[in-house]
Structure formats: structure tokens, C-alpha cells
Amino acid sequence: MQTGQPSTTAEIVAFFRALETIRPGDRLFEDPFAAHFLRPWLRIIVRGSVLPLIGALLLRWIDRRWPGARTSAIARTRLIDDWVNESVAGDPQQVLILGAGFDSRAWRLPALRKVAVFEIDHPATAAEKRRRLAALGIERANVRFVPVDFERDAAPQALARSGFDPTKSVVVIWEGVTNYLSGEAVDATLRWIGSLATGTRLIFTYVHEGVLTDPSAFEGAAQILVAVSSTGEPWTFGLRPEALARYLEARGLKLLADLGAKDYRARYMGEPAKRMRGYEFYRVALAELLGPRNPDGRSVQAEHPVDGPDLRRPQQPGVRHRHGVQRPLQVLAPKREEFLQHRKLRPDVVLLPNIGLQQPRVIRPAVEDPGGGEPIALKLAAKILRDHRCPLRPR
């Protein structure tokens, strides 16, 4: 995320929701607010997509450019909606949305209208969201915005000032966030959630760790990694599905369900889902609290300090996280020979062909191979160069 600006990826997901909302035929959900979070030219595209030919061509173009991203986004939106409705029916007293972005569930899901909803996010994104909702004249007395600059503010204190009560059960929604964080930030947040009151549930997304170490193992993953990095919001964290239950248990949580894109597309899209490819690495999990409780109902986690949610994204070169050292990467359009020579001289700078971009971009940060090998972006750069034979001239 660029400093002082709302999240680009939050707008992209809102764009996908807006397209689904306006799509003719049976829709997975309706989100009448999504289009209002978009910049004007994107709103024009959404409106134009109602024309059969334009709509079909647009969806086909999106699905070829970012394989599986759109279909995964809309199917998992419906899955999370269903899990939220099911969880709220269990009579929790609060809903907490971590890294809310342009999420509109507090406005479009009837089940949330009488529940206290706390939306926590970076001040820039939260301010832009409030501005656009105010322009629509929409108010919800039960929704509390909690803007937090995680470099300076303590999230638990900010939540407490907004009326959040950690001794009451809560449904936590953590969508589209963990893959942008460090391992330490994910760990701290999960431990805090695991310390909350009995009855608390967590719905969250994550990417398969393998997409960061070997993107070639997943169809379209290399394209997606370049796309998200070019926006200044690279992916930095993943988990292994086979190890998820044990990982959550160590943090006071019990895994109830864990579905990949193939699974949740099949659930909601039926026969057409069999022909959909891409984003199989993107997963949605449902968990609930476990472990001993204090008399007030809160979890006991004596051996691990609980500091509260930490949604800070890795930013500075040299900061270590569970996948290694982060390094800034410069994206240029070199010839193959220049790439190979530069790779020998400057391992901290990776030259990538400027494919599909009007201007060179900067990728921050890179992620090193957990085994101590080359940064993943180096391998990704080499693959792109092989696939595209460096069609562009040097800058």
C-alpha cells in the first residue's frame, strides 16, 4: 500500500464485486456499494459490462490477464458471507473486521444490522471509505470505524476506545490481509484472537506458502505475483494447508474448515467451475477458540504474551520475517544479457521486463527462499525472461 493512499488491491476486489453485482443472470451475491468505492473510469467499465458482448469480452480479458483472480474473489465473497451469517446466528455480540478495506458486509448483510461492527484499517483507506459512504448518505449507528496506524498506534487500545469488549464473543473477519504481512504480525494477531472470549470465531484467508517459494507449481501464479508487486503491495506470507490445524492450535484456535479456490468455486459455481483455472493457492479458513478459560471467559495463554492485532506490512529493507530478508526490487525492461550481468553485480536489484506496464515499477519487498537461496523474485524474473524472451528494449 502506498503511503497516504487507500489500498489498490482493496479497490480491485471491489471492482470484481461490482462486476458480479451487475452481471445478468444468477449472481452469487449483490453488493450495491462496491461500485461507489471505485474511481470514475472503473465505474464506467462496470456500467458498460451490462452490455452482453462487452461484458463477456471484459470478463474473458480479466480472467486471461489474472487467471482465477476474479472467480476466486467472488466465490470466496459468497463463502465468507455464508460463514458470517451462520456465525452471527450463534448470537455473538460483536463483529470485528481486520483490514476492512472496502468491505461492505456491515451495510449489505441484514444479519449484521443489529450487531456492533468494528472496522479496523489504515487511516488512509478508512478515511476514503468513510468519504465515499458519506457521499451516498449512508449511515449505520452500529458500525464503528477504528483507523489505526500500526507503526504508531496500539490496536487493542484503539478498539477499546471505540467500545470493543474483549470479554464478549466476536466474529472476526480477516479477508485478503495475511498474505501482505510478516510472519510475526500474523502470529501476534492470531494469538490475540485466541485470547478473546468463548464463542469467538475467526474467518480468514491465506495463500499457500508454496506460491511464494515455487510459483511455477500453480497456474498463473507468476502473473499474479508480478501484478500485485507492481501495485506496491507484494505478497510476503503464506501457510501450508497440511500444517494449518496445528499452527492454529498453538495459537489457541481450532480449525473447522479450510477450502481452496477449486473447492469454493465448485460449491457455488457448479459445472462451470470445472473449467476454471488459477488461484488454487488462495484459501479460506474457519476457526473457533479452544483451550482453558479464565472465570471471565477469556482464553488462558500464559506462555505467550498477547499484544493485540498487528497488521503492519513489511516495509523496510533488511527486516527479517519467517520467509527471510526483504529487499527492494527495481523493475526495468532489460535485454537478457543485461539481466544476467546485473544479477551478478547487484543481487539486491532485480531487473524484470516491463510487460504490460506503461512505466517501470518498483517491487518492495523481495522474499528470500526459506532455504537460504536466491530471492524468489530472482527466480520469477528469470522465468519471465525465458517465457517472453525480453521483448522490450532497455530503459
> In the predicted model, is pLDDT for residue 350 greater than 90?
no
pLDDT tens-place string over residues 276-324: 999 999 999 999 998 655 555 555 553 444 667 776 666 544 333 333 3
Ramachandran angles phi, psi of 201, nearest 5°: -125, 150
State the pLDDT at residue 295.
56
State the pLDDT at residue 298.
52
State the pLDDT at residue 389.
45
State the pLDDT at residue 151.
59
Ramachandran angles phi, psi of 280, nearest 5°: -60, -15
**Helices and strands (H, E) in the chain, number of each type:** 14, 11
Mean pLDDT in residue range 168-175: 96
C-alpha atoms less than 13 angstroms from C-alpha of 33 in its C-beta half-sphere: 20
Q: Residue 163: exposed, middle, or buried by beta-carbon count in 10 A (0-12, 13-18, 19+)?
A: exposed
Rounded to whole angstroms, how far apart are CA atoms 238 and 214? 12
State the pLDDT at residue 52.
87
**Mean pLDDT, rounded, of the chain:** 79
Which one-letter DSSP state was computed for residue 201? E
> In the predicted model, is pLDDT for residue 340 greater than 60?
no
State the pLDDT at residue 223.
87
Q: Parallel, antiparallel, or unpaired for β 329-330 and 362-363? A: antiparallel
- Asked if residues 369 and 213 have their Cβ atoms less than 8 Å apart, the reply is yes
Mean pLDDT in residue range 373-384: 48
Mean pLDDT in residue range 42-69: 93
State the pLDDT at residue 61.
94
Q: Which of 43-52, 173-182, 308-317 has the lowest mean pLDDT?
A: 308-317
Q: Residue 322: exposed, middle, or buried by beta-carbon count in 10 A (0-12, 13-18, 19+)?
A: middle
143: part of which helix (H) or strand (E)?
A: strand 143-147
Rounded to whole angstroms, how far apart are CA atoms 223 and 394? 21
Q: Which of 86-90, 132-136, 340-344 has the lowest mean pLDDT?
A: 340-344
Q: Which of 130-139, 208-217, 295-304 has the lowest mean pLDDT?
A: 295-304
End-to-end alpha-carbon separation of the chain, Å?
Answer: 25
Please give the angle made by the CA atoms of 83, 227 and 392, to the nearest 5 degrees.
165
- Asked if residues 118 and 162 have their Cβ atoms less than 8 Å apart, the reply is yes
Most confidently modeled range among 300-304, 327-331, 351-355: 300-304
State the pLDDT at residue 157.
87
Rounded to whole angstroms, how far apart are CA atoms 178 and 326? 16
> In the predicted model, is pLDDT for residue 247 greater than 90?
yes
State the pLDDT at residue 93.
82
pLDDT confidence bin for 178, thresholds 50/70/90: very high
State the pLDDT at residue 18.
97
> In the predicted model, is pLDDT for residue 174 greater than 90?
yes
Rounded to whole angstroms, how far apart are CA atoms 106 and 103? 8
The proportion of the chain whose per-residue pLDDT surpasses 70, expressed as a percent, equals 71
Rounded to whole angstroms, how far apart are CA atoms 149 and 122? 6
Classify the C-alpha dihedral 122-153-321-361 as positive or negative.
positive
Mean pLDDT in residue range 102-126: 93
Which one-letter DSSP state was computed for residue 178? G
CA-nearest of 157, 321, 169 to 235 is 321
pLDDT tens-place string over residues 251-282: 999 999 999 999 999 999 999 999 999 999 99
